[in-house]
Amino acid sequence: MQTADAHFVEAHGAKIPALGLGTWELSGHSCSRIVEQALRLGYRHIDTAQIYDNEREVGEGIRNSHIRRDQLFVTTKVWTTHFAPNDLVRSAKESLVKLRLSEVDLLLLHWPNAHVPLAETLGALAQARSLGLTRHIGVSNFTVALLAEAVAVCPAPLVCNQVEYHPFLDQQKVLAACALYGMALVAYSPIARGNAKKSEVLTRIGVAHGKTAAQVCLRWLIQQNVAAIPRSSRLERLAQNIDVFDFELSDAEMQEIFTLGSPKGRLTTMPTAPVWD
C-alpha cells in the first residue's frame, strides 16, 4: 500500500497532503486512538475544528503516534462566534493549548458569519498568521461570491476553501473559483457519508480496478487536484481510504462520475441564525 506522503495539493506555498483524516463526530479516547492509528498507517494530514470539541483528543493522538511534527499537516477551524478580531486571536491560542502545538499548519474560518464584517475577521485571521499561530490561513463553506470578497479584502494569501464535495454534489463553480485565485479545494464528506456504496456507477468502476466505491470517490477527487479528508472510526476503513494512490481512473470514468453530480446533492446545511448570536 502506498502512503499519502508524496501526494500534495499546493497553493500559495502550502503543501496540503492530498488525503487526510477528518475528525468530525470523533470524541474521547476513540478520537485519539483513531488519530494515532491513522498517522501510523501513513496519514499526514489531520483536520479538526473548535466546534468538534475534540482538539485535545486530536493532539493526544498526534503525540501518541510519535510522528515528527514537521512531517504533519494539522488544520483547525475557528467557530463563527469567535469572528470578532480580538476574539479570533484569543480562540486560536486556545486551540493551540488544547492541541498542545505551538502552531497549526492551516487555520480556517469554519462558516461565513454575516454579523461580523468579513474584512475585520480576515484581518484578524491574517494577524493570527503574522503572530505565528498558524503557517497558513483559509476559509470553509464559502460560496463563489464570498470567495471573491474574501480574496479582495484579506491582507494575506488564502490557501484553501474547505467545502463539501463528492460525486453527488456539483461543485465545479467553486472549484473553478479556487483555481482562479490560486487556492486549493479541500473536500469534506468526500464519500457522501457512506452513500458512495449505494451507487451502481461507483461500485462498477471500483470492481474494474479492484477497489471499493469509496476509494473511487477519493481517487476521483485527487485526480481533480482536490484534497480529501474522509472521516472513519474503523481501522480497516482508515487503511482502505489511504490506499488510493496505486490506480488511476480513465477520462471516460471521470466523466461518468461527473454525471452523478447535482446542485441538490448537498448533505450539510449552513447553521441556523442562532449559531451566530
Catalytic residues: 52
232 closest CA partner among 27, 34, 32: 34
CA distance to 201, 211, 231, 236, per residue, from 20 (Å): 25, 19, 9, 15
Which residues, at least 6 apart from 93, have a Cβ–Cβ distance to it below 8 Å?
A: 133
